[in-house]
Each structure stands twice: as structure tokens, then as C-alpha cells.
Structure 1
């Protein structure tokens, strides 16, 4: 990343030895190592958090798109009934010799739309009763 070679590190070490002296150099190297470690950990934590957020945003976006598609399908189904029921209900038998009142009743029956079948809501799932633990007294 920074393209630092061995010779550059050796030069920095010699300058640090000359400036700090042999007594303070080990403590300075130790402190520098601790700070570099802390920076690496914090950068990796920030990177992981950003990736989690991006992943969470992507999941939210997918769920939102699925909800929109479901709503769109429901709207289409409510506007246009399924084709198999409409083709059979719109076909009327040829008129036979009936009285005028019977013909009017059959025409009215063909014009009124049949109610669309509704799907009953799913029954709630019962949770199993908690089992008491032998190492504890039962909870009140």
C-alpha cells in the first residue's frame, strides 16, 4: 500500500535510534506497535460495520421490492379475475324457447359477476408449552 521496502525501514530505525537513544527506543517501538494495532482493529471494525449496513440495506431493498410485487399481483388479480373462470362464465348457452321472465332471469345471472374466492387467513401456530428444567424451580 505504501510501498515501503526493507531499506526504508532500516533507515527509519537508524534515525529513531539516533534521535531517541537506546534507552527510550524499545518503549517507543512498543507504543507505536500498540497504536498501529488499535488503528487496524478500529478500521476493520468500521469496515465490517459498513459491510453489514450495506448488506442490511440490500436485504431491505429486496424485501421492499418483493412487497411491491406482491401488492401488484394482488391488484391485478382483484382487477382481472383469473382467465379460466371468466371464459366459462361469459359463455352463455344459446336461447331456448322460454318465457320472457325466464330469459330475463338467465340474462341477469350471466351479467352479475360471481364473487371471487377469498383465501382464509392462516391459522396461528400454537407454541409448545415450556418444559420445566430439573435444575431450577418452576417459574411462577
Structure 2
């Protein structure tokens, strides 16, 4: 996975200032920060919902028994 160094970030910021303009650049940074914050909140809520699921209510013993019995039946054939 490629890494981004400080020099690359500086180049991207310089190009953004030239393209967007120095007056609108702080507004765009604030807007991008807001989007990132919203995405982080959404992902955090999604992770909390997944962690709150009660996975213990799923009975996993029965399928294992069926698989073992099925293997024993195949050995007899």
C-alpha cells in the first residue's frame, strides 16, 4: 500500500489553493472536515450496532452435529 508523505500533502495543498483559490480554500477545508466527521460518526454507529448484535442466540451446535453424523454415514458406505 503506497504511503503519502509530507511532501505529497504539501503538493496537493498547493494545487488545491491554486485551483480553488485562497479565499475559498478555508471554506473547502471546513466542508471536507465536516464530511469526514460525518463519515466517521456513521462508521462508528455501524460498528456499535454490529457489536451489539446478540450472536450467542444463534445455535451453532446443531449444524456441527449434523455434519459429524453425515460424515459417519458416509464412512459406512
> What residue is the counterpart of 1:25 in the other structure?
25
Which string of whole-angstrom CA distances, capped at 9 and with x for unpartnered residues, describes residues 24-73 of structure 1?
000000000000011011111111111211xx122x136x97xxxxxxxx
Q: Larger Cα Rg: Structure 1 or Structure 2?
A: 1
Instruction: List runs of 5+ in structure 1 lacking aligned partners.
Output: 66-140
Q: 2:4 and 2:19 mapped to 1: Cα distance? A: 21
Larger fraction in helix: 2
Alignment TM-score, normalising by the size of structure 1: 0.39
Q: Which runs of 4+ in 1 moved over 6 A?
A: none
The verdict on how the C-alpha distance between 1:38 and 1:2 changes in structure 2, with shifts beyond 3 A counting, is farther
TM-score by length of 2: 0.67
Q: Which residue of 2 aligns with 1:57?
A: 55
- Alignment partner of 2:22: what SS? helix
